[in-house]
A and B are shown apart, each in its own frame.
Chain A
Amino acid sequence: MEDSINSIYALKTSVGQEKNVARMLARKVKDSGIEVNAVLVPESLKGYVLVESSSKIDMQNPAFKVPHLRGIVEGKNAITFEEVKRFLKPEPIIASIQKGSIVELVSGPFKGEKAKVVRIDESREEVVLELIEAAVPIPVTVKADQIRIIQKEAD
C-alpha cells in the first residue's frame, strides 16, 4: 500500500488497437500474476497505453506478447503520477470552444462543413453553429464532440 512504489510505463501499440491491447494485456497479466495494477488508455494519446506497475516491466516476459503491442517507451525518467492525473480527468471539449471560433463538423449530415460558433450550451455540451458556406445562415445545434476546432477565436 506504499505510495510512490508504483511506476507508470508507456507502451507503444498500433494506432486504433489501444483498447484491444489493454484488454488482452489485462487478461494476460491476471493469468500470469505479474504485478500490474492498472492499464490506462487515454483517448487523447493515440498509439499508446499506460501501465501502472509496482515492478519493472520486462518486455521479454510472455505475458507481454500481445498482438499490436510494439514495445515499451524507454526513458531515464519514469512518467510521474502528476502527468497521468490530467488524463484521468479529461477536460470537456466544450471548455476550449469560444464564441466566434471557426470549427469543422466531423460527423453528422454536415460532416466536413466549416461553421462558426454562435452560442455555447455548457450544461448540455452543445454548440449552436452557423455554416459558413451556406447561402442563408441557418443555426445548427450539434454535440460538442461532433466538431473540431480550426481557429480558436474570430478575428
Chain B
Amino acid sequence: MSIKACTKCNLITTEERCPVCDIPTSTNWSGLLIIIDPERSDIARELNINIPGEYALRVR
C-alpha cells in the first residue's frame, strides 16, 4: 500500500483510483501541501483547491 497522488487534482491517497476524480493515481509525486481551511487559504485559492486534505505539488 503505497502513497499515491491523483494525476489530475493532485490529492494524496492510498487508493488505486482518485476518490474525487475517479482516475488512476500515480506513485511518482513530489512536494506536499496540506490544506486545512481552503476557504481562507491563499494557497488553496491559487491552486483552485476546495477540499481540505493532502496534495502533492507535482505528479507525473
Contact = CB atoms under 8 A, between A and B. Distances in A.
Interface of A: 1, 3, 6, 18-19, 22-23, 26, 29-30, 35-43, 52, 54, 81, 84-85, 87-90, 92, 125, 145
Contacts of A145: 28
B42 A81 contact: yes
Contact of B57 (A39, A90, A125): A90
**Majority secondary structure of chain B interface residues (helix, strand, loop or mixed):** mixed
Contact of B36 (A6, A30, A42): A30
30 contacts: A1-B39, A1-B40, A6-B40, A6-B41, A18-B32, A19-B32, A22-B34, A26-B34, A26-B36, A35-B37, A36-B37, A37-B36, A37-B38, A37-B42, A37-B44, A38-B37, A39-B33, A39-B34, A41-B33, A43-B57, A52-B43, A54-B40, A81-B42, A84-B43, A87-B31, A88-B57, A90-B31, A92-B58, A125-B60, A145-B28
**Majority secondary structure of chain A interface residues (helix, strand, loop or mixed):** mixed
Indicate the member of B28, B31, B38, B60 with the most A CB atoms within 10 Å: B31
A28 to B, nearest CB: 11
Given A81-B42, A89-B57, A90-B58, 18 more contacts: A26-B36, A30-B36, A35-B37, A36-B37, A37-B40, A38-B33, A39-B33, A43-B31, A43-B57, A43-B58, A54-B40, A85-B46, A87-B31, A87-B57, A88-B33, A88-B43, A88-B57, A145-B28
